[in-house]
Structure 1
């Protein structure tokens, strides 16, 4: 019998009345509004990218410098899949050339978010078009990500100088979404070290980032000399012992996405633990506050966490047995979130450069992007719509 990856118990899922799942007409309307927004922004940004978060709902234009740039390219690939329109493919292929140069020149690549950057841009391009330059760029990014693997701790360091004892040994829950880049690279190259590193990292996340009550630390530190676990800490949450909502959503999404690659069914059990904790702490409309310590009151919501969680719940549900009672519950919750986001959080008449989902939070402690749009929230909202309307194969 296999040893569980986490000692956390799965909370019983509280009863909740979700809105009815969106029908075909509602989903088509939401996709149409999303495409209209992408078209406005495609003309507005040209070869540039939206900044991570908006200012008064409009994204500043930036070059290919941020950890978030892949989300805009991912939206273009989703638009191409949905419509077949050449303008989306041509724009995304221009981005692919930029991403190829970025990894080749090591331009702002000294961090773990290479999966966010290259899965949604270059792996997507390779899967959809067979692009060799995209394949080469993604392989280069995977090799850069492997440089951050700390062998004794068995984790990929998030950011910071690998040789700085004050920064080394830090893993974060977000990195679950970066691991598919390594699994893809292992499959493409036949090199087992990519998969081994990803397997080690996800196991460490399950054991140390997931707390016994099913909540998560944002970050966790290890001693890189001995591999010993040290302590959990927040970076963007309310406090070290609270539960940052977007981090919990990364967990809901990341554990089942990794299961897709390595087939370890224990990851689905971990995902259930994390999902139930999140769902049991939502306010009336199903869109979380920026930290799950808040369930009511004047604190800001984070619509981006809801969009990520919806995608994660749909990925988790599709991997559960038909007779698993949580399968239908997760599908219902995801559909309810998408309905609420479409009805109450969607910007339908934005100016060029504006985002899709209002009322998101980037970094509350640092006072960045509070009650604004975030480009990852927009991406995951579109991904959720695509997941709900077709048998979509993830870029992750």
Structure 2
């Protein structure tokens, strides 16, 4: 009788553990299928309108990226390329190519640093999947435009242009780390080392000046044009100059993971690991950060799902480079992103997949809304897990 009782207890224990494992592990294929169905609805609207969706307006209508120029304009065509890769459905390829035509002329713009975001996510993914030489030429032109903003004295690519009376002289934001992937890739594609060299100098300068002792980062570092010295350490989108803006931390993590991918320099790996530790230690239980880790009214502050998606995608790549496993956190975050709390029901949220992202609370812009880059990095994270 004792043996039977012990066997029943053992079976119950195994059953409970199996249920726990099932709960903690994301159903990645199911989540990707769901997001593909949802974004198909957004694709139909975008194709008909011939515009790139960015977010939603207060009346729940779609806010379309401005045709003149918008830093987010590469994300939706990039998402289309990922979903073409996942499904082989031509509608995604056709959509990506249609939207890329709207932004191709921006490849010669030299007054903005976001060309890496825009063209690597869109034309970069397109070239990776199709080897279309025209896409490659667009990447080269956009990269050449981007490096005109590099200043040797400072050792960085300038982020924003500012007037002579502005408090900043040469502002560099942590987001700029995301533009380096295009430069690394161009050296690989062309054999010209100049792109990689600039990317490395920028990454090293940023590593020296942007990070605090705990590996959180400032948002904006302002440099002296003549000496290259740091003038100011500030924020534009975070709670305060000394706080840790959540999406900025994710940009840094992603950027240094990319730097390690292309250089295999262990300094970048260690930097990424240290940033990852800061993020994971500061993260709420469900793996979705508040918009700023030092926001004053936590837990009554807005979450930023975009920061979670970016950081999670970066951690999946980083996990492949280290003996330290990030899978426990990755699984938790992916499960949360796929939950009804953050993931819209089919047909709702105007066709965007994720809810509850934040653009800039200080500017009262895009607060608690869907954002096309949140969806982009969510789909990228799912694709990376599947691979």
Structure 2 residue 387 is matched with structure 1 residue 387? no
1:18 and 1:332 in contact (8 A); partners too: no
Counterpart of 1:59?
A: 62
Write the mapping of 1:161-172 to structure 2, written as runs, cut at 5 A.
Answer: 161=162, 166-172=167-173
Structure 2: distance between partners of 1:316 and 1:206:
18
Q: Is there any run of 5+ residues in structure 2 with no aligned partner, and where?
A: 1-19
Moved more, 194-203 or 352-361: 352-361
User: Which of 350, 362, 373 is matched with 1:365 structurally?
Assistant: 362
Q: CA deviation at 1:340?
A: 0.9
2:251 and 2:311 in contact (8 A); partners too: yes
Q: CA deviation at 1:41?
A: 0.9
Q: Does the residue aligned with 2:367 lie in a helix, a strand or coil?
A: strand
User: Which of 90, 93, 100 is matched with 1:86 structurally?
Assistant: 90
Write the mapping of 1:110-149 to structure 2, written as runs, cut at 5 A.
Answer: 110-149=111-150
User: Which of 289, 300, 311 is matched with 1:298 structurally?
Assistant: 300
Structure 2 residue 75 is matched with structure 1 residue 71? yes
Structure 1: distance between partners of 2:39 and 2:372:
12
Distance verdict in 2 for CA 1:290–1:18, change over 3 Å: farther
Structure 2 residue 217 is matched with structure 1 residue 220? no
Instruction: Choose between structure 1 and 2 for higher RCO, CA contacts under 8 A separated by at least 6 residues.
Output: 1
2:62 and 2:350 in contact (8 A); partners too: yes
1:100 and 1:136 in contact (8 A); partners too: no
Q: Does the residue aligned with 1:211 lie in a helix, a strand or coil?
A: coil
Question: How high is the TM-score relative to the length of structure 1?
Answer: 0.86
Structure 1: distance between partners of 2:57 and 2:139:
28
Counterpart of 1:193?
A: 194
Distance verdict in 2 for CA 1:114–1:189, change over 3 Å: same
- The structure where helix makes up a greater share of residues is 2
Structure 2: distance between partners of 1:178 and 1:163:
26
Q: CA deviation at 1:351?
A: 4.0
Q: CA deviation at 1:229?
A: 2.1
Q: Does the residue aligned with 1:80 lie in a helix, a strand or coil?
A: helix
Counterpart of 1:346?
A: 343
2:112 and 2:161 in contact (8 A); partners too: yes
Structure 1: distance between partners of 2:204 and 2:380:
26
1:160 and 1:167 in contact (8 A); partners too: no
Question: How high is the TM-score relative to the length of structure 2?
Answer: 0.88
Structure 2: distance between partners of 1:58 and 1:247:
28
Q: CA deviation at 1:207?
A: 1.1
Q: CA deviation at 1:58?
A: 4.8
2:243 and 2:293 in contact (8 A); partners too: yes
Q: CA deviation at 1:358?
A: 1.0
2:73 and 2:103 in contact (8 A); partners too: no
